[in-house]
Structure formats: structure tokens, C-alpha cells
Chains A and B, each alone.
Chain A
Amino acid sequence: MSSETLNVVRPCTYPARPINGGPLEVALPKPGHWYYEPKYNGWRALVHAPTGAMFNRHGQHLSIAGLFGGALEHLRSVQLLSEGMPVEWFDCEALCRRHRLGQATLLVFDYISLSGELLRQRKELLVQAFPAHDYAQPPSPEKLYSVPSLDPDQTDPHALYGELRQLNARWRCLFYEGLVAKRTTDPYPVQLRSPDEEFVGWVKHRWAY
């Protein structure tokens, strides 16, 4: 894709920014139904699949975008339809430099649905379209994965939280930062008002200390 084409593309939203819920051990119960997924230690990337343009959480071009050619090719090769319309924008974590695992790999955890599909529906579609990352295994480099959600009705988030921490110790790097809880009944919060605007439908729980 030419640099002129890439420069024309502008992000359709700022990536959803979770609020801080503190460490999971002390978190209070949340009203409603929430999924949990691992919080990866990488670079937030909003990806425009047709052009391969990648934007950071401030809506600026991601300087490391050139490293993700293989993953982007995979992303472009799959046409995801949301309510009959092709999905163009994907919310991802780009793995690069922060640790040695899964270099140049993209983890797709959401997409921008203009028809307002709920998180539950978006997640179902994503795991059908892309191979799901098994959190217990390090991702291969230069690959594309979807990030499956865990339903607390089936898996205890506290057990997962502890397991991710153990995996970090085993892999000797901060590969996971904690968990992100996401309310299943919310559409993607599309907004171009501010990159700092937080979305209460996503809550991060990190073990920062």
C-alpha cells in the first residue's frame, strides 16, 4: 500500500480505553454480565484491514507498523461480515519489543461494528474468523490470533488471573499485565472526542505492584 494511501486513512474512532479497576483480588462485584480476557503487554493498535494502516491509542500512525506484514496479510485475507457489511477496523494488541515472545504478532480482541453489535456477538464472530490464542502457550511470531473471552459462569477469573501470573514467571517476562473485564451487552464505544475518554464497559485489573 502506498504511503499516500496510508496517509489518507484516518481512524474511525479512538480505541476504547478501559477504566482502572485495581488488582482483581480486591475488586468489587460488577453489575451485569462481563467477560474476562488476558491483558497482553504490547502496543495498542487500531488496524484498518484494507490498507494495513495501524494507529496507536492517540489516533496517530504506529511507527512499528512495518514489522507486521505477515499478520496484516492474514488479516486482509479474511473478510469478516458484520450485518452484511465488511468489517474494516480491528482493535488489536501488537507484540513487539516489550518482551521476546510472539514478535510481530497481532492479537485481535475486537472490531469496530458500525451496526452496533454487542460485545458477545463481536467475540463470537472473531473467534470464528481467526485462530484463537491459547493463553497457556506463547504465541508464535508474525502470526494473527483472536483473543477469546472467558465467561465467569464457566471459568473463575481469579484462577485465570493467578495462572497468567504464573505463566509470566515461567516465561520469565511480563507477557501478561492482568485481565480486562468487558461488559457483554455493550456496543463498541465509537468516539472521536478524545483519546483520554475512558469507557466504563471495560475495566482493567493489573498486578502493577
Chain B
Amino acid sequence: MPSIKEKVSRPAKSQPDPLRKLSFGAITRKQDHAKTAYPVLPDPNGQLAIITARIIERTAQIEALDGALAIDKSELKTLATPFYFTQASGKVDVASSVSAVSPAGEVLITFPNRYSRLESEAPLLPILGEQTSTFFRQAFALEIDGDKLPAENTQELLDELQQLFARYHAAEALKVKECIKTVPDFHTVRHTSLSPQQNLAINQVCPIIAMVKTKGRIKESA
């Protein structure tokens, strides 16, 4: 009579444990994403909870206000920039700011001599073509400040520097960080040498770091 044999599993072969790891049994394991448990400040009368809630609430309000303000300031700068380039066009002495007025007061949109650095000159070429080098230049930094080297000997100095490091088998120790930035007088010559349209196009690629100021001007008395 056929019978069904219960399949008894063979005892598993004990695997060698190359790391000889310890067993921690029932000890609670720290979860990967577990929050660090800090000691909690005693708060017998609930005063700390009130302050804590107030900080959280006000932080959220500040973030919301900061965000809304950033949008408004950006909008104002975007709207003021074409006017700035148009009214400054052809002038040597250019006003640093333009004013926006309202019944609540005035704000200034300031256009300082501050520009973003570019990684490459490529986006400037369609706008400035061969004139690019008149307004922009390569800047770099090793462990030394490249801006302070004599321009006429810079390449020679760099070549010698590399040779020097190579001689000591330390060429890989030299790291260079380079970028494209405006020439020193760009902020003034742009208004006489370039059209407002060119300046606006450059501003898309290399924006002037404009600021919106609400304080610092004394209100004229009526």
C-alpha cells in the first residue's frame, strides 16, 4: 500500500560565519531612519509649549512672507530692467537706481556693479560676437588669485608653475577653477557701447544682481 511519507526536512548545514558576528538576541535594533531621541525639556506649567508653538507658527509666517516678497521683488526688477537700460543708454554717468512710487512710499530698484559669473562664454557669442572679449574676460583661481597676476605675463607664469609642479611630480596637486566675468569697466561702458536691446539680451545670460531697497532714503517733507 502506498503511503505518503511526510517529507522531513534535513537539518540545515551550518554555514561558516567568516565575520564571527555576535548575536544580539532581543535587544532592540536601531532603525536606519529612526529619529535621534533627545532629552525633553521639562515643562511643568506648559509655558514652553506655548513659546514653542509660537516659534513654529511665526517661522511659517516668515517663510510665507519671504516667499511672497521674493516674488514681488523679482517682478519689480523684471519690469524695471528694460526702463533702466533705456534711460541709461548713451550716458556716461548713469543713475544707480530707479524709483518706484506708491501711496505707501517709494522703493528703489538698484543696479549695482555686480554680475553673475558664467561658466562659459558660449551664450554671449550670439549677442556680442567678436565684441565678447571687449566686455567679458576669463577669470580663474588656483591657490593664488588669478585676478592679481600681471595680465601680460599670466600665461608664461602659469606654464612655469605647471612645469614646476611637474618637476616635483605634483602636477595633480594643482586645481584650477575658471569662469567668465565682466571686464572692470563693463558696468559703465555697456550703456555707451551697447544698445538697450543688447543689454537686455546680455542681462538674460549674465544678470546684473539688482536689489530692491525699501529703506535708507529720507522722506521729503511736503
Residues of A within 8 A of B119 (CB): 192-193
Number of B positions contacting A (CB below 8 A): 20
Judge if B74 is at the interface, Cβ distance under 8 Å. yes
Residues 16-39 of A contacting B (Cβ, < 8 Å): 19-23, 25-28, 30-31
Report whether B62 and A22 are in contact in the complex, using a CB–CB cutoff of 8 Å: yes
Judge if A179 is at the interface, Cβ distance under 8 Å. no
Closest A residue to B65 by CB, please name it.
A28
Judge if B64 is at the interface, Cβ distance under 8 Å. yes
Interface centre among B64, B67, B72 (most CB of A within 10 A): B67
How close is B129's CB to chain A, nearest CB, in angstroms?
A: 20
Partner of A20, one of B66, B74, B75, B116: B66
How close is B193's CB to chain A, nearest CB, in angstroms?
A: 23
Report whether A193 and B64 are in contact in the complex, using a CB–CB cutoff of 8 Å: no
Residues 111-136 of B contacting A (Cβ, < 8 Å): 116-120
How close is B212's CB to chain A, nearest CB, in angstroms?
A: 12
A31 to B74 Cα, complex, angstroms: 11
Residues of A within 8 A of B117 (CB): 193
Report whether B72 and A26 are in contact in the complex, using a CB–CB cutoff of 8 Å: no
Residues of B within 8 A of A25 (CB): 60
Interface centre among B65, B117, B120 (most CB of A within 10 A): B65
Residues 52-80 of B contacting A (Cβ, < 8 Å): 56, 60-68, 70-72, 74-75
Partner of B64, one of A28, A198, A200: A28
How close is B67's CB to chain A, nearest CB, in angstroms?
A: 3
Residues of B within 8 A of A19 (CB): 66-67, 70-71
How close is B58's CB to chain A, nearest CB, in angstroms?
A: 10
6 pairs from A and B in contact (CB 8 Å cutoff): A19-B67, A20-B66, A21-B63, A21-B67, A30-B68, A31-B72
